[in-house]
Amino acid sequence: MCAQAADGKSSGGLIVEKRTLAENIYLMKVYAPRIAKAALPGQFVIVRASEHGERIPLTISDYDAVRGIVTLVTQVVGVSSRLICLKAEGERLTDIAGPLGRPSEFVHKTPSELMSGHWLFVGGGLGTAPIYPQVKWLHTRGATVDVVVGAKSASLLIFQEEMKAVCRALYIATDDGSVGQKGLVTDVIRRLVEENRQSYDTVVAIGPMIMMKFVAQLAQQYQIPSVVSMNTLMVDGTGMCGACRVTVGGKTQFTCVDGPEFDGALVDFDEAMRRQTMYREIEINGK
């Protein structure tokens, strides 16, 4: 058994499935029934690989309330993430607590608003995983969703088939042109809006900070509201450490309790990127 959030207790989640998605990127399906039942798009969990291990915030990539399964996607970037990724199928995570954070704003929309809406989701690299449950949730409620995903090369693309099943159209951009359009996700967005005359009510971007910055700027240029996820800023995931501070509309917000999603037009990305580099050495070396 495992899990939770509201009662403040947590226990290890059994890894019922593990597979490699790309180099150093792993998908794990974890038995965590209380989290799976309560989870909504946009939320995250806190994971520890060992009793004295670091608390790692991971955005929920999918959830199945019936089977009690939560899907997590982790990339090896440092000591703690490597310890998580070394876990094998049949082993347990020491802790998995959640769901945490505020769910995506669209979960509060009426059925008619959802069915009449037209969303564009943009995922960069590992950011493709957390947009999947959002696109899936909207798809099941009749919304029209297009998706743009970007990666350095075809070998680093993830969730392609899953995404195709829940969106109207999937567009791919790779740095080397090995698949899809060669270039940036913003190049694809420009083509969709300017050449294909696509109209969107909202753009949602999750991925590297620099990507989200330019997607938000482009959306603002087209007068389209944008939403970005600042999940990469989080450290402890409870708001106590203060490491996840982000300036939104001139006011200080905390990513883990006020977010992780914010209005892209109001986020101070330059400050956020400076803050992100503060913990890079600790993340890589574990100390």
**Domain co-membership, 95 together with 25:** yes
- pLDDT tens-digit map of 210-225: 999 999 999 999 999 9
Take residue 270 and report the two structure tokens written for it: 């330059």
269 in any annotated domain: no
Task: Inform me whether the pLDDT recorded for 242 exceeds 80.
Answer: no
- pLDDT tens-digit map of 10-35: 446 899 999 999 888 999 999 999 99
The Cα 172–Cα 193 span in angstroms is 15
Take residue 115 and report the two structure tokens written for it: 């069915």
The Cα 188–Cα 185 span in angstroms is 5
Residue 188: closest CA among 229, 221, 150, 227: 150
How high does pLDDT run on average in the chain? 87
141 in any annotated domain: yes
**Domain co-membership, 157 together with 81:** no
Do residues 222 and 193 lie in contact, with contact meaning Cβ atoms separated by under 8 Å?
yes
122 in any annotated domain: yes
pLDDT for res 105: 93
| End position of a domain, from candidates 197, 229, 261 | 229
Greatest Cα pair distance, the chain, in angstroms, is: 54
Task: Inform me whether the pLDDT recorded for 187 exceeds 60.
Answer: yes
**Domain co-membership, 37 together with 150:** no
48 in any annotated domain: yes
pLDDT for res 257: 82
Identify the band that residue 279 occupies on the pLDDT scale cut at 50, 70 and 90. low
Per the structure, the count of domains in the chain is 2
Q: Is 163 exposed, middle or buried (0-12, 13-18, 19+ CB in 10 A)?
A: buried
| End position of a domain, from candidates 71, 100, 129 | 100
For the residues of 206-225, what is the DSSP string, one character each? ES-HHHHHHHHHHHHHTT--
Q: Is 23 helix (H, G, I), strand (E, B) or coil?
A: coil
Question: Mean pLDDT, to the nearest integer, of 264-274?
Answer: 90
Residue 112: give its domain's CATH number.
3.40.50.80
The Cα 21–Cα 282 span in angstroms is 26
241 in any annotated domain: no
Do residues 237 and 208 lie in contact, with contact meaning Cβ atoms separated by under 8 Å?
no
Least confident segment among 25-39, 68-82, 144-158, 192-206: 68-82
Q: What is the identity of the amino acid at 48?
A: R
Task: Inform me whether the pLDDT recorded for 7 exceeds 80.
Answer: no
Task: Inform me whether the pLDDT recorded for 177 exceeds 60.
Answer: yes
**Domain co-membership, 20 together with 120:** no
Helix ranges restricted to H, the chain: 33-38, 79-85, 111-116, 128-139, 160-164, 185-190, 209-221, 255-258, 269-277, 280-285
Least confident segment among 50-64, 127-141, 158-172: 50-64
Q: What is the identity of the amino acid at 189?
A: I
Residue 86: give its domain's CATH number.
2.40.30.10
124 in any annotated domain: yes
**Domain co-membership, 168 together with 213:** yes
**Domain co-membership, 27 together with 69:** yes
Higher pLDDT, 235 or 105: 105
Identify the band that residue 259 occupies on the pLDDT scale cut at 50, 70 and 90. confident
Q: Which single residue is written with the structure tokens 């000591």?
A: 79
8 in any annotated domain: no
**Domain co-membership, 83 together with 154:** no
**Domain co-membership, 57 together with 31:** yes
Q: Is 282 helix (H, G, I), strand (E, B) or coil?
A: helix
**Domain co-membership, 32 together with 112:** no
The Cα 285–Cα 109 span in angstroms is 43
pLDDT for res 238: 62
Kindly give the interhelix angle for 269-277 and 209-221, rounded to the nearest 10 degrees: 180
**Domain co-membership, 125 together with 210:** yes
| End position of a domain, from candidates 52, 83, 100 | 100
pLDDT for res 2: 38
Q: Which domain range does residue 213 map to?
A: 105-229
- Name 247's Cβ contacts closer than 8 Å, sequence gap at least 6: 253, 267, 268, 271, 272
Task: Inform me whether the pLDDT recorded for 284 exceeds 50.
Answer: no
**Domain co-membership, 34 together with 146:** no
- pLDDT tens-digit map of 111-152: 999 999 999 999 998 899 999 999 999 999 999 999 999 999
pLDDT for res 262: 94
Take residue 105 and report the two structure tokens written for it: 């704003």
**Domain co-membership, 116 together with 74:** no
208 in any annotated domain: yes
